[in-house]
Copies of this chain bind each other. A is one copy, B any other.
């Protein structure tokens, strides 16, 4: 997020000098690697190779692979935080929706993120700030502290959970490129259609919706239910 951060700074001598990194460079390269090859593609050796150094040097910046994933996830959420900095209408529910959608968009294309986003606020400063940011929106609603705590956690849980579920690290064949995403979906749909209609009435009832569905629409529909419930609660309604 700052610092010049040019990895592989070779001195001009021609003789190969020591590589030099920075935390920001390490995280940027880690995110790139994660986006390209998924969580299991991020090995310390592969990352070090991209940075032009040895794997052991990474331990200067992070305590291990786990912290690396935590910080990589947090750096992405830092981007979300910036992107929603100016969101502030006079409708807190609408703002909650905007922020949640921004989070969803960041996570859904990064299957690896689901497992590491917002999981360790002590080590993830941007996650903490994002949680605070969402919570502040609830402070504009006439709720008790407890209700605000619950509402904020519910929104965060729904976003992370749904995005992680949808962006699921797909089966190995898809990752390796043997089978395209579309093909994979078509195959799943065919399998659903082949199920016995007496045993699986619901699956048959919605299989066409499933076949033509868009993850983003589906997420928004669920989010709208949650926010409708929250709004009702803020108006003093009970279910």
User: A residues within 8 Å of B by Cβ?
Assistant: 66, 93, 115, 118-122, 128, 131-132, 135-136, 138-139, 145-154, 156-162, 164-166, 168, 171-172, 187-188, 191, 199-203, 205-206, 208-210, 213, 218, 221-222, 224-233, 237-239
Contacts and interface: CB of A to CB of B under 8 A. Distances in A.
Given A161-B160, A161-B165, A208-B145, A225 B230 contact: yes
A138 to B, nearest CB: 8
11 contacts: A121-B188, A145-B209, A149-B213, A150-B218, A151-B222, A154-B222, A224-B229, A226-B226, A229-B229, A231-B239, A232-B232
Contact of A151 (B135, B171, B205, B225): B225
A154 B233 CA distance: 19
Contacts of A93: 239
Contacts of A131: 202-203
A150 B226 CA distance: 12
A239 B221 CA distance: 11
A226 B165 contact: no
A228 B165 CA distance: 23
A147 to B, nearest CB: 8
Contacts of A208: 145
Nearest to A64: B172
**Which of A199, A205, A210: most chain B CB closer than 10 A?**
A205
A161 to B, nearest CB: 1
A160 B222 CA distance: 14
B152 A158 contact: no
Contact of A136 (B201, B226, B227, B230): B201
A155 B237 CA distance: 21
Contacts of A159: 161
Given A119-B168, A149-B206, A226-B226, A201 B139 contact: yes
